Amino acid sequence: MIDENLLIEIVTEELPPLSQKQLGESFGKYIFDGLSHHKLNTSSDFEIFSTPRRLGVKITKVLSEGKTEKKLIKLMPKKIGFDANGNAQQALIKKLESIGNKESSLSEIITKEDNLYIEKNIVGKKLHEIIEGLILDSLIKLPIKKVMTYQLSDGWETVNFVRPAKNLVILHGSELINATVLGIKSTRTTIGHRFESKNKIIDLAHSNDYEEKILKEGNVIASFEKRKKFIQNTINFRTQSLKKNVLPVCDDSLLEEVTALVEMPNILIGEFESKYLDVPQECLILTMKSNQKYFPIIDSNNKLTNQFLIVSNLTPVDPKIIIEGNEKVIRPRLADAEFFFKQDKKNTLLEMSHKLDKIIYHSKLGSQSDRAKRVAKIHRHIYNEQAIGDFKDFDRIALLAKADLVSLMVGEFPELQGIMGRYYALNSNENIDIADIIEDHYKPKFSGDSLPRSILGVSFALADKFETLISLFSINEKPTGVKDPFGLRRNAIGIIRLLAENNISLNVRQLIEKFMPKNSVEKVVELKNFIDERLVNYLKDKSYYSHEIDAVMSSSPPYLHNVIEKIEAIRVFSSLAESHELAAANKRVSNILKKYELTNNTEIIPSLLNEPQEQELYKSLNKQMPIVKKYLKENNYIDALKVLVELKIPIDNFFDKVMVNDKKIEIKNNRHNLLIKLHEILNCVADISKVTN
């Protein structure tokens, strides 16, 4: 039994860059898990390789053959296997034959708890016998969005894979394991860089040679993570060699994409004419990153410079041709951006807004102009509810905020909506506060994004997001599965952050009810539940426990801004000695009231309170309720819950001595009304029956 490192590499045509890393990670994990299933790996270490032209994995300490193990195999119930006289039934004999045992092994059968078992030696699988099927299974399970169908060189056999396969290596230590995958027979040779490999064919004597030989002879950094780190470090080094205090704009998504495009990175510096810096830098940065995969360079004031970094897959002696070629390619794109910006500035933002009625927002919801009017109405409601100030120009700001949708620049770069609106607002001599609101009303656009700079910007951002959710839910344009073409989940999370992080007391349910089109009661419930679901996920991301979240969210609170404060309060409450008994009492009250047919008359009549214990509870409720309400008004949820401790003894005495369902209907109803009041105070912050684990 040999214990060696196992190398598997599949060379292909160029893999799709956006999914390359995931394909490599999935392939490596599936191979490792498959070996684990057969108990062939004795270590948990494995290294993944993925480049534009290869997927591979090296797994540490893989056995050539699994160990033979004794296993107790369940056969069948005893009453089925043997008759009343203890004779073996035909079903038992056939079962033994199906697992390779003869009838003579009946004497080896073991009885446990009326079931029949037999101990059998399970021979371990041999690596060379299972590896081909394991690789094929792993390839089938890969998360491939689009599968290619292509013919093999024989012209007959058809194969399905993400890209045509060219070469297969399977080495267990120094031993070549023979297998055929995707029509390719395994070999101990591989190929390097398409253009710059020192050797056309690279021989691999041992699985441990792979990474070093493919680097030295093939000019390939096979590990995705090592290649990514090399690019990051080289970008930083090259940037530091330029003027002082300049930095690369290096987001992780762009870094991963260029890592997937090259096998041996070469970082070069290009330039463009300084005149293009008059164009808003967001436009230039976006076109460099999204269209050309360049890394822009900014100065210490966060201002764009006219230099950028190129990640090339070629390393010629003289890089001048590559640099000039990239500079030539980017120039027309920058010129287009300059032209769009100049043309857009010929019109004021207000003039642009007049064209919004020509842009359809949705076939069932009208134009962007119609949408702006709906946003303005919701904004007016939010603004007035918060008593922010004396702003009145809701319709105008709603139109201005969407006006850049008709611009040439946003038509070319939709990601810049709002950002370009701010530039055009300033160009139109609008107040800078209004310009900021126009840009900010899309925020937050993503997790971790900043929030609007002003309270007016926050209220307008809320209005825009509520309009999106209400309008699209009203026409059944809801997310399905992973699909969310209108970004409704993102809008809901945005609302939660805007309310919670700005401590805005807004009745969400009331707002939805007011602006949801008539005859859509079920849509109100659907949308509120949708927002609540996002809130639950938001709270889980903040590491709150499920039972704490459930306690606050069980009643679908109309106000979302204070949910975290309430969770923190019940966390404190649950640490109190009395919390468990109060939680149990609350659960008991809830169960009683579920069976009680509630009426509009919940008044408690003191003269009907006959027992001393119910009188005591009534007095305690009257005493503590004003105190609780005072604390709730001050958002002091911790002290509001601590007041409940004072009710423990009266509650215990009530349930020990008082029969709620009295024979006299008026007494029974009065006691139910007393429990309604008790239930109200116990649940003043959250459903405390759920706060204890």
**What string of DSSP letters covers 16-70?**
PHHHHHHHHHHHHHHHHHHHHHTT-BS-S-EEEEEETTEEEEEEEEEESBPPPEE
Indicate the pTM of the whole model: 0.83
Residue 499 CA from chain centroid, whole number: 21
- Looking at the DSSP assignment, which residues form a beta bridge with residue 180? 185
Residue type, 550: D
Residues near 98 by Cβ (< 8 Å), separated by ≥ 6? none
- Looking at the DSSP assignment, which residues form a beta bridge with residue 118? 73
What pLDDT shows up at residue 692? 63
Structure tokens given for 515:
């602006």
Is residue 189 classed as helix, strand or coil in its secondary structure? strand
CATH (residue range 567-690): 1.10.730.10
Is residue 165 classed as helix, strand or coil in its secondary structure? strand
369-382 burial, b if ≥16 CB within 10 A, otherwise e?
Answer: bbbbbbbbebbbbb
Q: Which CATH architecture has domain 350-543?
A: Orthogonal Bundle (1.10)
Q: Checking DSSP bridges between strand 165-172 and strand 184-187, what pairing results, if any?
A: parallel
Question: 394-402 vs 419-427: helix axis angle to the nearest 10?
Answer: 110
Is residue 600 classed as helix, strand or coil in its secondary structure? coil
Closest C-alpha among 274, 279, 227, 248 to residue 52:
227
Residues near 41 by Cβ (< 8 Å), separated by ≥ 6? 32, 35, 59, 60, 61, 62, 63
Backbone angles phi, psi at 629, to 5 degrees: -60, -35
Closest C-alpha among 692, 530, 667 to residue 611:
667
* Cα–Cα distance list, 362 to 86, 366, 468, 471, 477 (Å): 77, 6, 11, 10, 10
Positive or negative torsion for Cα 646, 648, 654, 656: negative
Task: For residue 470, give the H/E element and its range.
Answer: helix 455-474
Residues near 657 by Cβ (< 8 Å), separated by ≥ 6? 611, 612, 613
Structure tokens given for 200:
């056309």
Query: Distance between CA 448 and CA 686 in Å, rounded?
Result: 29
* Cα–Cα distance list, 64 to 27, 48, 77, 121, 176 (Å): 21, 21, 38, 19, 12
200-228 burial, b if ≥16 CB within 10 A, otherwise e?
Answer: eebebebbbbbbebbbebbbbbbbbbebb
What pLDDT shows up at residue 402? 97
Q: Checking DSSP bridges between strand 202-203 and strand 295-299, what pairing results, if any?
A: unpaired
What pLDDT shows up at residue 108? 86
In a 13 Å sphere around the CA of 473, the CA atoms on its Cβ side amount to: 29
Q: Specify whether the CB–CB gap between 609 and 666 falls below 8 A.
A: no
Closest C-alpha among 441, 453, 454, 334 to residue 398:
441
Residue type, 622: N
Mean pLDDT by 10 residues, the chain (693 residues): 92 96 97 94 93 97 88 89 88 88 86 89 89 96 93 86 97 97 96 96 97 97 98 95 88 95 97 97 95 95 96 96 96 96 97 96 96 97 86 94 97 96 97 96 94 95 98 93 92 97 95 89 92 96 93 92 94 89 89 75 89 94 94 94 92 91 89 92 91 65
What pLDDT shows up at residue 416? 96
Closest C-alpha among 394, 404, 365, 379 to residue 486:
365
* Tens-digit pLDDT profile for residues 104-129: 888 888 888 889 999 888 778 899 99
Task: For residue 400, give the H/E element and its range.
Answer: helix 394-402
Q: Specify whether the CB–CB gap between 292 and 254 falls below 8 A.
A: no
Q: Specify whether the CB–CB gap between 178 and 168 falls below 8 A.
A: no
In a 13 Å sphere around the CA of 387, the CA atoms on its Cβ side amount to: 1
Query: Distance between CA 664 and CA 45 in Å, rounded?
Result: 75
Residues near 117 by Cβ (< 8 Å), separated by ≥ 6? 72, 73, 74, 75, 109, 110, 111
Query: Distance between CA 55 and CA 26 in Å, rounded?
Result: 10
Owner of token pair 């094929």 = 136
Residues near 588 by Cβ (< 8 Å), separated by ≥ 6? 655
Q: Specify whether the CB–CB gap between 189 and 21 falls below 8 A.
A: no
* Cα–Cα distance list, 638 to 308, 438, 559, 681, 684 (Å): 55, 39, 18, 14, 11
Residue 158 CA from chain centroid, whole number: 37
Task: Mark residue 278 as left, alpha or beta (left: phi above 0; alpha: psi -120 to 50; beta: remaining).
Answer: alpha
What pLDDT shows up at residue 620? 94
Domain locations in the chain? 3-65+126-216, 69-122, 224-344, 350-543, 567-690
Structure tokens given for 453:
């700079």
What pLDDT shows up at residue 488? 97
What pLDDT shows up at residue 388? 77
Residues near 283 by Cβ (< 8 Å), separated by ≥ 6? 337, 340, 341, 409, 413, 416, 420
Query: Distance between CA 463 and CA 378 in Å, rounded?
Result: 5
User: What does DSSP assign to residue 414?
Assistant: G
